[in-house]
Amino acid sequence: MKDDRESLASSAGGKSLRATQSAPPEDTSDGTKEIWGARHTFAFMGFLGFAVIYAMRVNLSVAIVAMVAKNVTTNTNVTDDDLACPLPDDYGQDDGYSQPGEFDWDEKTQGLILGSFYYGYACTNLLSGIAAERFGGRLVGGVGILLTSVLTLLTPWAARTSDGLFIALRILEGMTSATSFPSANSLIAAWVLPEERSKYSSFIYAGVQFGTVVTLAASGFMCNSSFLGGWPSVFYVFGSLGVVWSVFWFPLVYDNPAQHPRISKHELEYLKPIAQLKTSISTKKTPWKSIWTSKPVWSIIVVHFGFNWAFYTLLTELPTYLDRIQHFNLSSNGLLSALPYAIMYVYSLFHSLLMDHFTKNKTIRILNVRRLSMAVACFVPMLALIGMCFVGCHRTLAIVILCIAVGACGACYSGHFCSHVDLAPCYAGTLIGLTGTFATIPGFVSPAVTGAITKDNQTLAAWQTVFLISAVITGAPALIYILTISADTQPWNYAEELGF
């Protein structure tokens, strides 16, 4: 076993350009016959990691509905009954424990609070990618989630102390959680063969939807219960789960197959070609000039920004829309907010398996898989968001269209999320950190825009404007991506060998 690891490490450090382009092993390798291997453990822990990190990100979206006093968010500008939906007979009649909101935040302040997380996220995204490649995704990702968990546990105290401290804590939480995607991409490049990336990436990133679904569904009930004081329980429970996850992450996951002490000989041999695709780059210089002037990289930046505008708008504002416009009670709000993400979770797995099938059978090229996936992930939500402008007070129709909008987003994990590894497996962490920095901007701009549009104006017309803006910003970048993206490994991935 030791000789196998030394051979793998040696091949990682001394690859040639020709070696990097060698074909992956055939599926008849013994590594494929194992029921469970080290790479499966990594994928499962990655899935749980994203579930936990997103639970700590989205819990505030539902909690803030319970935290804010109802009389603060009024429709002071509404003068026509046609501009607002009538209150249902059962509105405000949640079963069980309920308490009045503690905070007098208006829509603009709520937008600032919801978006503050992404200010921090944008600051450390690129740095996280560089750190993941220098120090390993295992350490950077694990420490990031552990610190985020501790900050989440401190959230109720910070919110009750002062608005400024609460916002500062959410900014710090964004900074620590920004390690997740760059670390995962770096580890995927080290553990997953190219033809399996869609399947593994989609499974790992499906933790985003799983965590979102569980959190949104559970948070409504938790906020409406007496458990740990109502809304604070949302932060105590999910923060604790993050700490527990960290305890298991470090002994179970390693940066690459060569370092894993318990990997089988068969799996090590099966994954050996990855050493020819991704080298250990702790001493390599990042080819920044080539990256910044790469058309495919800018293609990812543009589509990542546009996709995230719609995704973050719905992720942060959907519970508020269901509460203020469609007037769902708190418990129903959480469940209905979770439903679109449950559909996204299921569809992301179905889509990835379908794309993997087409790729292995050579029915569709990898490039066209990326194009098709982002067409679904952006154009379907764009049309659905336009449709939201016409649903009015039809609550069921609104939920159906929102499910379509969010569900189709699941195709993205076989699209631009794989493009970073396609273009440069050696710099996958840096690339997703770079594109993620730009893509985080909608995280704080979108809630601010929504807050400005709906401040003292919780009307159908105001939310139609929100949905229409999201539709336009989501659709246009997808076309750019489809026309300009590449699935080929870029020459600057081999920067040192080619003298970049």
At residue 24, the pLDDT reads: 38
Model pLDDT for residues 200-254, shown as the tens digit of each residue:
887 898 898 899 888 888 887 888 777 777 889 999 999 999 999 999 999 999 8
Q: Can you tell me the mean pLDDT for 338-351? A: 88
Residue 97 CB coordination number (10 Å): 12
Higher pLDDT, 89 or 376: 376
Residue 62: name the closest of 445, 325, 336 by CA: 336
Beta strands in 69-145 (DSSP E): none
Residue 94 pLDDT level (bands cut at 50, 70, 90): low
pLDDT of 168 higher than 90: yes
The highest-confidence range among 116-125, 269-278, 331-340, by mean pLDDT, is: 116-125
Q: Is the pLDDT of residue 13 over 60?
A: no
Bridge partners (DSSP) of residue 166 are: none
Helix (H, G, I), strand (E, B) or coil at 306: helix
Cα distance between residue 309 and residue 290, in whole Å: 27
Alpha helices in 254-394 (DSSP H): 265-270, 274-277, 288-292, 295-324, 330-360, 366-388
Q: Which residue has the higher pLDDT, 328 or 142?
A: 142
- Does the pLDDT at position 22 exceed 70? no
Kindly state the tokens that stand for 160.
Answer: 């009750």
* Contact between residue 366 and residue 359 where contact means Cβ atoms under 8 Å apart: yes
What does the pLDDT read at residue 148?
95
Q: What is the pLDDT of residue 169?
A: 95
DSSP structural state of residue 98:
-
Q: Which ranges constitute the DSSP H helices of 68-196?
A: 107-135, 137-153, 155-161, 163-177, 180-191
Give this prediction's pTM: 0.73
Quote the longest CA-to-CA distance of the chain. Answer: 78
Q: Is 425 within 8 Å of 189 (Cβ atoms)? A: yes
Q: What does the pLDDT look like over 129-151, one tens digit per residue?
A: 888 878 888 999 999 999 999 99
Mean pLDDT calculated for residue range 44-69: 88
User: Nearest Cα to 450, choosing from 105, 101, 114, 84?
Assistant: 114
Beta-carbon contacts of residue 299 (< 8 Å; ≥ 6 apart): 419, 480, 481, 484, 485
| pLDDT tens per residue, range 433-479 | 888 889 888 888 888 888 889 888 888 899 999 999 999 999 889 99
* CATH of segment(s) 37-74+106-262+279-498: 1.20.1250.20
Please list, in sequence order, all residues whose beta carbon lies within 8 angstroms of the beta carbon of residue 6, skipping any fewer than 6 positions away. Answer: none
Domain ranges within the chain, ordered by starting residue? 37-74+106-262+279-498
| Predicted pLDDT at 306 | 93
- The CA-based dihedral angle spanning residues 262, 264, 265, 267, taken in that order and rounded to the nearest 10 degrees: -120
State the Cα–Cα distance between residues 431 and 133, nearest whole angstrom.
11
Average pLDDT, whole number, for the chain? 81
Residue 48 CB neighbours (<10 A): 20
